[in-house]
Amino acid sequence: MTIWEKLFGNWGSAAARQFDVGGASGAVELTKRHPTFSLTKQGAVTGNLRVNLSWRMRTSDFDERPAFGTTLRHPLRKFTPQVVQAQGPAMVNVDLDLACMYELQDGSKGVVQPLGNFLGSLNSPPYVQLSGDDRFGSGSGETIYINLDHRDQFKRLLIFVYIYDGTPAFDRTHAQVTLYPGNGPRLEVSLHERAPEARSCAVLLIENVKGELIVRREMKYVYGFQAELDRLYGWGLQWGRGYKQTKV
């Protein structure tokens, strides 16, 4: 066996699959090739499922210095822009919000989101609650909690991200949605596709399929807001214009 075969003999679909579904961090990255994950089969259907949105602004289209593991998993990302942690409003011209449309088994539907202060409730319907609103891309980001002790009440949950304020700039941000189940690895979805004019993105769909909770990567960008996502997924809610209160 040659040195090349020893080093790169397993470089192919099998090796790429290993990089997609896990690494040194123990995280599972949901990708186009591997878009689904069963929380039920993982035994992660009790307690609170934490869904976090973190984002940073890109400062340049050059001079990217990715971590070694990231380069192995996604070789072409070494050509993507460098990102830096946003520190305040002077460095940030876009406000990303994390939200969730819910449909329960009894037919009730709604949305949990910062806009309109629809923060939800963890211990009563819809059993989904938003922690707060991060306007500047801080390290903690925004978090939605889902009470899986009431998993039988859920029919489907759509996790989505929208740009509340600023120029449509998904292509200028480095955003990631991460799920933290009560058991097993965390699930990661990166919003790295280029969609410069989009204002909203359906990221994940959590469905109750015959009693099994399945997470599916969606990554569908739309050029409108919640109403357009609603039409795309047939939610049937009534939408109106909303605003956030100005912070002082």
Question: What was the pLDDT predicted at 159?
Answer: 98
For the stretch 213-224, pLDDT in tens is: 999 999 999 998
Please state which of the four CATH numbers 3.30.565.10, 2.60.120.380, 2.60.60.30, 1.20.1090.10 is assigned to the domain occupying 34-52+93-233. Answer: 2.60.60.30
Closest by CA position to 163, among listed 53, 49, 240: 53
pLDDT tens for 33-72 read 999 999 999 999 999 999 999 887 655 443 344 444 554 5
- Answer whether residue 135 shows pLDDT above 70: no
Is residue 79 scored above 90 in pLDDT? Answer: no
Closest CA to 83 of 210, 172, 183: 172
Using pLDDT thresholds of 50, 70 and 90, give the confidence band for residue 164: confident
Dist CA 117 CA 185 (whole Å): 31
According to the model, what pLDDT value does residue 196 have? 74
Q: Where are the chain's structural domains?
A: 34-52+93-233
Q: How confident is the model over 7-19, as pLDDT tens digits?
A: 434 433 333 333 3
Say if residues 213 and 201 touch (Cβ distance below 8 Å): no
Percent of the chain whose predicted confidence (pLDDT) is above 70 = 66
pLDDT for res 169: 67
Residue spans of beta strands (DSSP E) within the chain: 28-29, 36-38, 48-58, 83-84, 94-104, 109-112, 120-121, 128-130, 142-147, 154-166, 173-180, 187-191, 200-209, 212-222
Amino acid at 54: S
